[in-house]
Amino acid sequence: MPAGRWPGSVIARLTARKAARSGVLWGYVFGVFVASTALGYAATYKTQTERDHLATTFGTNAAIDALIGPARQIQTVAGFTAWRSLGVLSIVGAVWGLLAATRLLRGEEDAGRWEALLAGQTTPRRGAAQALIGLGVGAATLWMLTAVVTIAVGRSSKVDIDVGAAMFFALVLVASAVMFLAVGALASQLAATRRQAAAYGGAALGLSYALRLVSDSSTRFGWLRWVSPLGWVEQLRPVTASRPLVLLPIAGFTAVLVVSAISLAGRRDLGASVLPDRNTAEARTRLLSGPLGLAIRLARPTVAGWAVAIGVFALLLGFIAKAAGEAISSSSSAEHAISHLGAAGSGPGAFLGVTFLMVALLVALMAAAQVAAARTEEAGGELDNLLVRPVRRWSWLVGRLVVATVACVISGLIAGVCSWVGEASQHSGVRFTTLLGAGFNIVPPAVLLLGVGLLTLGIWPRAVSITVYGVLAWSFLVDLIGGIIGLNHWVLDSSIFHQMAVAPAVAPNWTTNGILVAVGLAMATIGGIAFMHRDLQGA
């Protein structure tokens, strides 16, 4: 399309181009995930007996049901693929939608790029509508690529999903992405900065996931799935027993959010937020006397947000552990204890052991965000202000590392204590020290990720963000599918979570944990030395 033909649609086209590029990338990831799950399952479980055995082991495990949704017909390739892909990709898709929407709406606006565009032809309201159309193009790209791969895989005689079912399946896989694109769009209007918008959206996603998790952990809470967007996605039940009617609440939810986002965009100033944002503040200078104090001050609001999320989530897990654990003890023990989804042990401990992977993911996400923030401080030029004064490079870096590490340890402590509080309220009988140990057990992978991040900061600063989030996403995916479809142990080892013991189901391995921390610190040291000797680099 010639660039000058519709000058009034420039925002739509720019957003569409960026969103589609991202949609293509993640469409591949979705496709590869679906394909590798289907083909991996078919290759690992060749006979029906093996598949039936898997179904009796995993199909009745309440912890796994809670973590990624209930398993249906996993004695078939199609059923297993639908279950596992949906459980994982609906979360990944939601995160994608949130980040894409906040980046392309609020991020572009913060960077001042909209000012130039809006000064031309169009109003803020139309600008927002155009950007949403662009995001829609991105979501459509994601769906198309996912559908193409799913159809191709479905044609294989081993998998056997017909074209219509495959397209519906792909639609279900991107449903959460679409809903959270809309959530991100609304949050972009409410918040004053991209980060704040992402935080609001993240809170909505966390709540939605938590409700879905509780609803699937025990039949007592089953009704909760109807108040969670992720619960609706699950109720679409693609491939096994499609229920397209559930698309109605999804479409309604999306439409309401989109309409509110567009109308709010017309009601506020460019660059301003709908929710009040304080532009003046009392000076609080207690911490501001050096790089360490500054690092604490800068990290405090985000770390506090993560800590609350982790605490609430752990409390919730503890609270439902007893009810969920009862379902586990009745199922047979698994041979697949090689992954974190292996159902080791029984009762509340087993439930918490499996679901703590999610808490570990949150702590690691927080660590990743801390490293990314350090890089942003360099890229944005804020760091220059310290380094042109009598501040050594390492004291800035150590300040950042100390704050991030302490934040991880505190998060582990909070996870342990909160899960115990929730669990004790139900008299489940897991000991406090056991849960405290399980809390600290999730810290080492996060420290390892910190090390990976700082190593990258030293030798390839522009790749910090993509590396830490990439390693994290990779680890999470590998851990969720690796054990079951029998991935090569080298691949499994590449996950930062793979060496982590399934505490509190089993006792933490402190030697392994010590090694993880040592490797992380060694990487951080090498990265620090490299950072000391290189040029500072802008964005």
Does position 285 interact with other proteins (CB under 8 A)? The reply is yes
Question: Which residues ranging from 162 to 201 are in contact with other proteins (CB under 8 A)?
Answer: 192-193
Question: Which residues ranging from 327 to 386 are in contact with other proteins (CB under 8 A)?
Answer: 377, 380-382, 384-386
Does position 276 interact with other proteins (CB under 8 A)? The reply is no
Within 10 A of 119 (CB to CB), how many other CB atoms are there?
9
Residue selected from 1, 389, 427, 490 as contacting other proteins according to rule CB under 8 A: 389
Does position 289 interact with other proteins (CB under 8 A)? The reply is yes
Residue selected from 298, 352, 481, 496 as contacting other proteins according to rule CB under 8 A: 298
Does position 274 interact with other proteins (CB under 8 A)? The reply is no
Give 273-279's long-range contacts (Cβ < 8 A, gap of 24+): 273/189, 273/190, 273/191, 273/192, 273/196, 274/189, 274/190, 275/190, 275/191, 275/192, 277/192
Q: Give Cα 114 to chain centroid, integer Å.
A: 28
Does position 301 interact with other proteins (CB under 8 A)? The reply is yes
Burial 306-322 (b: 16+ CB within 10 A, else e): bbebbbbbbbbbbbbbb
What does the alpha-carbon distance between residue 270 and residue 109 come to, in Å, rounded to a whole number?
Answer: 8
Q: Please, what is the minimum distance in Å from the beta carbon of residue 393 to other proteins? A: 9
Q: Please, what is the minimum distance in Å from the beta carbon of residue 529 to other proteins? A: 14
Residue selected from 1, 157, 278, 490 as contacting other proteins according to rule CB under 8 A: 278
Shorter beta-carbon distance to other proteins: residue 112 or 164:
112
Does position 269 interact with other proteins (CB under 8 A)? The reply is no
Q: Kindly write out the interface string for residues 509-538 of this chain, putting x where it contacts other proteins by CB under 8 A and - elsewhere.
A: ------------------------xxxx--
Does position 284 interact with other proteins (CB under 8 A)? The reply is yes
Shorter beta-carbon distance to other proteins: residue 157 or 289:
289
Q: Please, what is the minimum distance in Å from the beta carbon of residue 293 to other proteins? A: 8
Judged by CB under 8 A, the number of residues near other proteins is 34
What does the alpha-carbon distance between residue 62 and residue 57 come to, in Å, rounded to a whole number?
Answer: 11
Tokens of 316: 């919730």
What does the alpha-carbon distance between residue 130 and residue 164 come to, in Å, rounded to a whole number?
Answer: 31
Tokens of 126: 């139309």
57 touches 142 (CB < 8 A): no
- Report which residue type is found at 36: S
Does position 112 interact with other proteins (CB under 8 A)? The reply is no
What does the alpha-carbon distance between residue 131 and residue 10 come to, in Å, rounded to a whole number?
Answer: 9
Selection from 93, 122, 319 nearest residue 213 by Cα:
319
Question: Which residues ranging from 462 to 501 are in contact with other proteins (CB under 8 A)?
Answer: none
Q: Please, what is the minimum distance in Å from the beta carbon of residue 201 to other proteins? A: 20
Shorter beta-carbon distance to other proteins: residue 335 or 384:
384
Selection from 527, 537, 531, 401 nearest residue 462 by Cα:
537
Which residues, at least 6 apart from 291, have a Cβ–Cβ distance to it below 8 Å? 386, 391, 395, 396, 399
Selection from 144, 133, 37 nearest residue 80 by Cα:
37
Q: Please, what is the minimum distance in Å from the beta carbon of residue 406 to other proteins? A: 20
- Residues lying near other proteins in the complex (CB under 8 A) are found at 192-193, 278-281, 283-285, 288-291, 294, 297-298, 301, 377, 380-382, 384-392, 533-536
